[in-house]
């Protein structure tokens, strides 16, 4: 592992170099000075999606969801709990497929919720359906 990781700021999308030894300390963005990790999932859009999945050295776990989806609503607090547990070693993010239909089509999301793990811009795992917290955390850790 290198001496530093590139971490994309969840607030301004600036790219920060964070020494691996300081990763657990969290850190602040060099551009906007806000926290790089706040224990909550990041909302991704069509304009910032590619930057976050391809420029982060951390694996990015994306929840593709919709507001009308019952299992998505059930899983939302679980995904937030997972973010609190898995950060700063993973970035958890959400994409609202109702609003960002082009992203859902581009990544061939056929059912929701669908979770996908990206590493350096490449999808390395995908799981459709809601999960409980222990299964979600175990699933993420087995692919990274």
Is 29 a catalytic site residue?
no
Is 72 a catalytic site residue?
yes
The pLDDT tens digits for 32-51 are: 999 999 999 999 999 999 99
Q: What is the pLDDT of residue 24?
A: 84
| Average pLDDT, rounded, for the chain | 94
Alpha helices, DSSP H, located in 89-143: 101-106, 133-142
> Taken in order 9, 17, 106, 95, is the CA torsion positive or negative?
negative
| Distance separating alpha carbons of residues 61 and 94, to the nearest angstrom | 8
Cβ of 117: how many Cβ atoms within 10 Å? Answer: 21
Confidence check: pLDDT of 60 > 80: yes
Q: What is the pLDDT of residue 53?
A: 97
The full set of domains in the chain, from first to last, is 38-142 (3.40.30.10)
9, 29, 32, 69: the catalytic one is 69
The pLDDT tens digits for 67-102 are: 999 999 999 999 999 999 999 999 999 999 999 999
């Amino acid at each position: 592992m290198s001496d530093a990781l590139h971490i994309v700021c969840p607030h301004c999308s600036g790219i920060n170099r964070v020494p691996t030894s300081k990763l657990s300390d969290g850190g602040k963005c060099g551009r906007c000075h806000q926290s790089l990790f706040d224990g909550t999932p990041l909302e991704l859009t069509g304009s910032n999606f590619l930057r976050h999945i391809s420029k982060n050295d951390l694996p990015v776990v994306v929840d593709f969801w919709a507001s009308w989806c019952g299992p998505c609503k059930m899983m939302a607090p679980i995904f937030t709990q997972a973010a609190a547990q898995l950060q700063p070693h993973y970035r958890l993010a959400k994409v609202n497929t109702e609003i960002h239909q082009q992203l859902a089509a581009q990544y061939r999301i056929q059912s929701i919720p669908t979770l996908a793990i990206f590493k350096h811009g490449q999808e390395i795992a995908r799981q459709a359906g809601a999960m409980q917290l222990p299964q979600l955390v175990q699933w993420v850790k087995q692919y990274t």
